[in-house]
């Protein structure tokens, strides 16, 4: 599984995480994988989503061994433009409010996926970057129809890339 490393951009006390990966799947398949609750549950966590600007989103990401109150994120959808763009608030008990944006661009028979997670503290970005790395690896495996890698193991493997 080829996995492009993300970038952490620091601006004072705040940071932005950015990933760009080319996925060899049609844009419609990638869009469904990042917006359909049944598919999100496979690679990220259980999800409820009102697919429209202003709609709500709830995701319970992370290992189930972590209390749900800690791993649950909620927010409103800030941008919704199928099959190219979804952006939403990320409100979670363990981190400051931030935003997550997925941008999809058709690239021949594949898709360029850009993930941007903004407004994190520098400290929290250091933990979220390997987390998103692991989740994007899981997304790719899901799209390939392959076994979904263990999130904790992928996170541990990716941590050194963001130190």
pLDDT 10s digits, 4-57: 899 999 999 999 999 999 999 999 999 999 999 999 999 999 999 999 999 999
> Cβ distance 135 to 150 under 8 Å?
no
* Domain count within the chain: 1
Residue 25 maps to a domain: yes
Q: Cα(86)–Cα(102) distance, rounded to whole angstroms?
A: 5
CATH of the domain at 31: 3.30.530.20
Output 43-49 pairs: Cβ under 8 A, ≥24 positions apart: 43/135, 43/138, 43/139, 43/141, 43/142, 43/148, 44/135, 44/138, 44/139, 45/71, 49/77
Residue 75 maps to a domain: yes
pLDDT mean over 144-150: 97
pLDDT 10s digits, 89-110: 999 998 999 999 999 999 999 9
Residue 62 has pLDDT above 90, yes or no: no
Two tokens, residue 134: 């692991």
Average pLDDT, the chain: 95
Residue 2 maps to a domain: no
Residue 157 has pLDDT above 60, yes or no: yes
Residue 2 has pLDDT above 80, yes or no: no
Q: Cα(131)–Cα(135) distance, rounded to whole angstroms?
A: 6
pLDDT mean over 121-128: 95
Residue 1 maps to a domain: no
Residue 41 maps to a domain: yes
Q: What crossing angle do the helices spanning 122-144 and 27-35 adopt, rounded to 10°?
A: 120
> Cβ distance 148 to 43 under 8 Å?
yes
pLDDT of residue 63: 80
Q: Cα(116)–Cα(82) distance, rounded to whole angstroms?
A: 17
The answer to whether the pTM exceeds 0.85 is: yes
Nearest to 71 by CA among 162, 135, 2: 135
User: In a 3-state reduction of DSSP, which class is residue 129?
Assistant: helix
Residue 3 confidence class, pLDDT cut points 50, 70, 90:
low
For 161, which DSSP code?
G
């Amino acid at each position: 599984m080829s996995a492009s490393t993300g970038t952490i951009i620091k601006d004072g006390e705040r940071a932005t995480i950015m990933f760009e990966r080319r996925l060899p799947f049609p844009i419609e398949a990638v869009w469904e994988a990042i917006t359909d609750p049944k598919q999100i549950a496979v690679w990220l966590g259980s999800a409820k989503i009102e697919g429209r600007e202003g709609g709500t989103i709830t995701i319970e990401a992370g290992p189930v061994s972590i209390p749900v109150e800690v791993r649950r994120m909620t927010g409103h959808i800030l941008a919704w433009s199928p099959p190219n763009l979804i952006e939403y608030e990320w409100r979670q008990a363990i981190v400051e409010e931030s935003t997550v944006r997925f941008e999809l661009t058709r690239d021949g028979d594949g898709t360029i996926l850009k993930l941007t997670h903004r407004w994190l503290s520098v400290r929290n970005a250091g933990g979220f970057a390997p987390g998103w790395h692991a989740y994007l690896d899981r997304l790719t495996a899901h799209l390939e129809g392959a076994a979904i890698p263990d999130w904790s193991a992928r996170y541990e493997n990716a941590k050194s890339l963001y130190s």
